[in-house]
Amino acid sequence: MSDTIEKVKCLIIGSGPAGYTAAIYASRANMFPVLYQGEQPGGQLTTTNEVENFPGYPEGITGPEMMIELQKQAERFGTDVRHGWITKVDFSGDVHKVWVNEEKEIHADTIIISTGASAKYLGLPSEQKYLKLGGGVSACAVCDGFFYRNQEVVIVGAGDSACEEAHYLSKLCKKVTMLVRRDEFRASKIMAQRVKNTENIEILFNTETDEVLGDGQVVTGVRVYNNKTNEKHDIEATGFFVAIGHKPNTDIFKDFLDLDETGYIINAKPGTSKTNVEGVFVSGDAADHVYRQAITAAGTGCMAALDAERYLAAKDSDFEVATSSYN
């Protein structure tokens, strides 16, 4: 352990649209933020091949390119962007304590959590192969469905989110095949009925994925099997969507922050970024289990920085709210 304790005014945990936006606003408010990028610098968006629904990019942009631009913008205003990740926190006292890589200790006046949530995947080697290639595997129909217009796709899942995404895809795609592991949905009756009533959605119950098929570059189909009969067959498809849930990256905060049953951080006051611990704020998918979009994450990053700025101003009469940060 390091004997030197670093003190900072604003510590941002995690990168991605939420973290970098918080950093831009915090920097412009003279909060001198320090941002630790985490295990996946740039967050989930770095695994997205094309981003076409973020304002300001009429020709689209890749996820990694967007994150590089956001990082440069944050650094332009003075954000100290660092490699490494927070491995331990202690919010039990007046001082917010964190440890970086189990070694360096930091005391922060304010903390903005932007650790996001990770999509759950099946874990098949073929699935991971085409996910990394950007060749047809996705965990976000709203993000990537547009690229499969008038094509045939497969989606895995049985809950409300899976039904919602299948219904969304049905408006874009020629055919949607839905794989449900059990003999019934886990979704609410109204959501299940919606997909059952959609003409171009075929539901295969008691069916699981054996392999994602492809030509080495892009997905061309899915091999599935019936878990009752073990019978296998191939489905032609150019897209494979996984909708089996997300896991918020919030485990290190569970002893101090209020989390819901899934692990998402609960906002202490709706419409703000505040948590149950004063001076600790949350942005992005670590708290958002509904929208999970880059643009909404960026918006909550802005909110967290403004809330942190006001917290500091109320606590310290020498710290004035910088009105320029609002423009």
* Active-site amino acid positions: 140, 143-144
Kind of pairing, strands 152-156 and 239-242? parallel
Burial of 255 (0-12, 13-18, 19+ CB in 10 A): exposed
Contact 105, 11 (CB under 8 A): no
Which amino acid belongs to residue 156?
V
Query: Cβ atoms within 10 A of the Cβ of 227, count?
Result: 14
**Distance from C-alpha of 127 to C-alpha of 123, rounded to nearest angstrom:** 7
The secondary structure of 303-315 as a DSSP string is HHHHHHHHHHHHH
Asked if 143 contacts 275 with a C-beta cutoff of 8 angstroms, the reply is no
Whose tokens are 């795609």? That residue is 173
